[in-house]
């Protein structure tokens, strides 16, 4: 992380900025996400969530060690028409003084081809994650930071219950490869609407999601379901998130031996 990047942070220390920073640092402390000397590969898709994550990690911290280093990694999935979008993103990263990687792939078209018609999201996610692991290894990173937020964690729980027949979700910190690498999700305590609001406040060059199934995925259906439920109870999402920390194993199904 360069001092030059931090110099301009006073320009945007709004009330919202302080709120998001508080919850990012709280999540980091609760799960020991960031430690002295960490080198972190930050997955930057170009969506607002990842741009906000990169921005917040690249500003002064109170409870996170100051000498972590960041590498922004962007994997272009290869959908048509995105060249101009990624050009703007490249300029943003260069102007911010970030160390970055931008790599074009054919992951998107491959995931939606006849080879994999039934579940494009699964294959796309798996191939993209695999490449992030490889890039982290190539750049000497011991952590990968992903921009999944509180809403993503809630939606994943319901997705896994409805479609995978299990009670599980994304973990704020996850060890892989025997502890050689950790996946962290510093936005785990932050709601999506606040992230989007901060992105607008900062004027980030958000890349349009060109995935043909993005608006008709299982996750989008879950999101709409939760939106409908919140019309009757605005605490629905918060209640689900809290319930994941109040699990009562004795009141779940346990087949007799």
Ordered DSSP codes for 58-106: TS--SSS-TT-EEEEEEEE---TT-HHHHHHHHHHHHHTT-EEEEEE-S
How many angstroms separate the Cα of 56 from the Cα of each of 5, 22, 44, 147, 170?
A: 11, 10, 13, 11, 21
Provide, rounded to the nearest whole percent, the portion of the chain with pLDDT above 90. 70
Higher-scoring residue by pLDDT: 12, 255: 255
Q: Where residue 122 falls among pLDDT bands split at 50, 70, 90?
A: confident
Residue 107 predicted with pLDDT over 80:
no
Provide, rounded to the nearest whole percent, the portion of the chain with pLDDT above 70. 92
Burial class (CB in 10 A: 0-12, 13-18, 19+), 10: exposed
Q: Domains plus CATH for the chain?
A: 3-212 (3.40.50.620)
3-class DSSP state of 185: coil
Q: Where residue 91 falls among pLDDT bands split at 50, 70, 90?
A: very high
3-class DSSP state of 184: strand
Q: Where residue 159 falls among pLDDT bands split at 50, 70, 90?
A: very high
Average pLDDT of every residue of the chain: 90
Non-local CB neighbours of 50 within 8 Å, separated by 6+ positions: 42, 43, 44, 147
Burial class (CB in 10 A: 0-12, 13-18, 19+), 233: exposed
Q: What is the pLDDT of residue 92?
A: 96
Q: What is the pLDDT of residue 115?
A: 67
Asked if residues 101 and 139 have their Cβ atoms less than 8 Å apart, the reply is: yes
Q: What is the pLDDT of residue 82?
A: 62
Residue 106 predicted with pLDDT over 60:
yes
Higher-scoring residue by pLDDT: 174, 61: 174
Distance CA 221, CA 159 (A): 10
Residue 102 predicted with pLDDT over 90:
yes
Q: pLDDT tens digit string along 190-199? A: 999 999 999 9
Residue 6 predicted with pLDDT over 50:
no
**Beta strand 39-43 with 143-145: parallel, antiparallel or unpaired?**
parallel
User: What average pLDDT does range 235-240 have in this prediction?
Assistant: 98
The dihedral of CA 221, 226, 227, 228: what is its sign? positive
Ranking 11-15, 40-44, 101-105, 217-221 by mean pLDDT, the lowest is 11-15
Q: What is the pLDDT of residue 11?
A: 57
Q: What is the pLDDT of residue 12?
A: 52
**Beta strand 143-145 with 69-76: parallel, antiparallel or unpaired?**
unpaired
Backbone angles phi, psi at 126, to 5 degrees: -65, -45
């Amino acid at each position: 992380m360069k001092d030059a990047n931090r110099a301009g942070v006073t320009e945007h220390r709004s009330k919202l900025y302080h709120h998001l920073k508080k919850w990012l640092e709280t999540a980091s402390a609760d799960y020991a996400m960031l430690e002295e000397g960490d080198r972190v590969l930050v997955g930057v898709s170009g969506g607002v969530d990842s741009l906000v994550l990169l921005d917040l990690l690249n500003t002064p911290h109170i409870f996170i060690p100051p000498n972590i280093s960041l590498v922004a990694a962007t994997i272009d999935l290869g959908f048509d028409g995105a060249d101009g979008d990624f050009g703007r993103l490249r300029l943003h990263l260069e102007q911010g003084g970030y160390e970055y990687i931008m790599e074009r792939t054919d992951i998107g078209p491959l995931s939606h081809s006849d080879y994999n018609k039934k579940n494009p999201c699964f294959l796309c996610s798996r191939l993209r994650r695999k490449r992030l692991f490889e890039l982290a290894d190539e750049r000497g990173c011991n952590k990968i930071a992903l921009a999944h937020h509180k809403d993503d964690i809630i939606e994943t729980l319901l997705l896994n219950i409805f479609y995978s027949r299990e009670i599980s979700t994304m973990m704020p910190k996850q060890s892989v490869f025997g502890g050689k690498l950790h996946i962290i999700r510093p936005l785990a305590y932050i709601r999506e609407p606040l992230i989007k609001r901060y992105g607008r406040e900062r004027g980030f060059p958000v890349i349009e999601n060109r995935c043909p199934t993005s608006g008709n995925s299982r996750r989008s259906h879950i999101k709409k379901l939760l939106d409908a439920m919140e019309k009757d109870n605005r605490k629905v999402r918060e209640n689900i998130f809290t319930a994941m920390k109040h699990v009562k194993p004795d009141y779940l199904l346990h087949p007799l031996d």
